[in-house]
């Protein structure tokens, strides 16, 4: 494998320190428990707002900033993802996670205390920075603690946390609001964060286990090139602004600014990386080789399919099938369950199957689920919708787990964090693209699909334009899943382990 592409500024380099080699086996369960707690807190704050938003908006019902309580959190988490991976490589997972927890706690305390809507939005952005870092570093630390097939088995625990947060988050938010108001849901993060910091200090004490994976004379994070990171952040923010423009009502001026930011940031990033390749925010070894970009592209596509389906299907079921919010939520939960099961099965079987087979199988499951949803009549029973969603979730679990582990297993010494962050960024961008582009596709294709309904629809009365557009959009997603299956053939069956 190539030399790590994110060296420190000074030529002096020490041998990489592996957390799994330095951490006593007896302490690993404690460290894993802390990682799961941190990830659960971050995941909960991504899901709890859906329930609490109506109560938070009561503070100023006329404000137009409330959508940014969720969008600001999401955008901040995406922007900080590549930075998190490089900090983990330069500082070590322990120190980086400590910084992430402090940011998350500060943001949570600010949300709890914010007296105005702009203050709430700013606090949610700060909280999103911390939560985004925690999410990446959870996967990095597990990758450092375990190697080979053990990493695959541990992925099921991380996926279980996401599934649990998706179920518990809305319920816990409602219960805490009834108990003492919505602010308590955010205030509790502070004592729980201190608990996590204390347990992290016990389970992963300072020294070799918690030190940086690569150090130079200065021992700093010289791999974090600020100009390239700033340019990449501008690209990400501009891209997300363009994707979210319809939902947030950006005018012509906002669209022009986002487009200018995308072009300007992209040009600046290209010039910086061309001049100094080691400054790239993402590992170039992952982007230049087919064994790297093919798994990354599969991750983006699978995430786009999953998040598009789970976002828009409840709306379709409510409008066309007459399902209430509870029954629609149960259908969405089937996808979360499928993701957990798919991740667990893939992690257990990865040593026997290799990396390519789960990706191809996952693409097939995604295609099967989306195709079934595209042709299903509104009168389909609840179990039918849930089964299709389960198939979509299984596909995502297979693809996401296999590709992430491939990236980690192929990462050069001292670059585990940046490779993990690249895959996480692909998953997040895929989710953003899937949610917003499918909504636009559904609206644009609806009238056309309605005219062509006798050729593309089910027998019976023609649906509304929205329902027809939904079915055609699902058919497009099924075609995308088939393309992922073809792309999955380029995923290497086994990781080419780098030399330490």
Picking from 27-36, 216-225, 257-266, which range would have the lowest pLDDT averaged per residue? 216-225
Is residue 199 a contact partner of residue 118, using CB atoms and an 8 Å limit? Answer: no
Predicted pLDDT of residue 24: 59
- Is residue 457's pLDDT more than 70? no
Predicted pLDDT of residue 72: 87
Domain made up of 285-488: CATH architecture: Up-down Bundle (1.20)
C-alpha–C-alpha distance, residues 152 and 495, integer Å: 13
Angstrom CA distances, 298 to 395, 472, 492, stand at: 11, 22, 13
**Sorting pLDDT into bands at 50, 70 and 90, what band is 267?**
very high
Q: Give the closest residue to 414 by CA, choosing from 65, 18, 116, 2.
A: 18
Picking from 231-240, 455-464, 475-484, which range would have the lowest pLDDT averaged per residue? 455-464
C-alpha–C-alpha distance, residues 50 and 491, integer Å: 37
Q: Could you state, in order of their start, the residue ranges of all structural domains in the chain?
A: 19-225, 226-280, 285-488
CATH for the stretch 19-225: 1.20.1250.20
Q: Does the model's pTM come out above 0.75?
A: yes
Q: Give the closest residue to 82 by CA, choosing from 155, 130, 136, 18.
A: 136
What are the tens digits of pLDDT across the range 117-173?
A: 888 999 999 999 999 999 999 999 998 888 877 888 888 788 888 888 877 877 787
Predicted pLDDT of residue 219: 34
On the question of a common fold for 19-225 and 285-488, the answer reads yes
DSSP state of 26: G
Please enumerate in sequence order all residues whose Cβ is within 8 A of that of 322, keeping only pairs 6 or more positions apart, or say none.
378
**Sorting pLDDT into bands at 50, 70 and 90, what band is 332?**
confident
């Amino acid at each position: 494998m190539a030399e790590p592409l994110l060296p420190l500024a000074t030529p002096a380099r020490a041998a990489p320190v592996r957390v799994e080699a330095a951490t006593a086996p007896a302490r690993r369960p404690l460290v894993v428990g802390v990682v799961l707690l941190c990830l659960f807190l971050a995941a909960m704050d991504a899901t709890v707002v859906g329930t609490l938003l109506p109560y938070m908006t009561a503070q100023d019902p006329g404000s137009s900033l409330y959508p940014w309580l969720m969008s600001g959190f999401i955008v901040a988490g995406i922007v900080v993802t590549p930075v998190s991976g490089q900090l983990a490589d330069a500082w070590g997972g322990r120190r980086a996670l400590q910084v992430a927890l402090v940011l998350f706690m500060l943001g949570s305390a600010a949300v709890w205390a914010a007296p105005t809507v702009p203050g709430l939005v700013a606090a949610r952005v700060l909280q999103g920075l911390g939560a985004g870092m925690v999410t990446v570093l959870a996967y990095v630390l597990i990758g450092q603690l375990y190697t080979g097939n053990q990493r695959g088995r541990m992925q099921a625990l991380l996926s279980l946390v996401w599934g649990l947060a998706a179920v518990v988050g809305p319920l816990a938010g409602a219960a805490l609001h009834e108990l003492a108001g919505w602010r308590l849901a955010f205030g509790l993060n502070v004592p729980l964060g201190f608990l996590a910091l204390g347990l992290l200090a016990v389970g992963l004490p300072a020294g070799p286990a918690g030190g940086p994976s690569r150090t130079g004379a200065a021992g700093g994070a010289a791999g974090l090139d600020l100009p390239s990171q700033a340019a990449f952040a501008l690209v990400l923010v501009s891209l997300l602004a363009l994707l979210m423009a319809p939902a947030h009502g950006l005018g012509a001026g906002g669209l022009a600014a986002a487009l200018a930011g995308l072009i300007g940031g992209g040009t600046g990033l290209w010039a910086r990386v061309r001049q100094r390749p080691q400054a790239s925010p993402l590992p170039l070894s992952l982007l230049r080789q087919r064994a790297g970009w093919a798994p990354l592209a599969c991750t983006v596509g699978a995430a786009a399919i999953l998040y598009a389906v789970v976002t828009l299907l409840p709306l379709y079921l409510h409008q066309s099938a007459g399902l209430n919010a509870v029954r629609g939520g149960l259908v969405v939960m089937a996808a979360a369950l499928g993701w957990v099961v798919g991740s667990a099965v893939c992690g257990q079987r990865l040593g026997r199957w290799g990396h390519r087979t789960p990706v191809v199988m996952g693409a097939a499951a995604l295609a099967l689920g989306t195709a079934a949803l595209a042709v299903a009549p509104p009168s389909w029973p609840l179990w039918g919708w849930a089964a299709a969603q389960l198939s979509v979730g299984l596909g995502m679990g297979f693809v996401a787990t296999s590709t992430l582990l491939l990236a980690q297993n192929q990462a050069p010494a001292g670059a585990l964090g940046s490779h993990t962050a690249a895959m996480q960024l692909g998953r997040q961008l895929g989710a953003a693209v899937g949610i917003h582009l499918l909504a636009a596709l559904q609206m644009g294709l609806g009238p056309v699909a309605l005219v062509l309904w006798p050729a593309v629809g089910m027998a019976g009365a023609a649906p509304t334009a929205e329902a027809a557009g939904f079915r055609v959009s699902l058919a497009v997603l099924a075609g995308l899943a088939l393309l992922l299956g073809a792309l999955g053939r380029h995923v290497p069956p086994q990781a080419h382990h780098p030399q330490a």
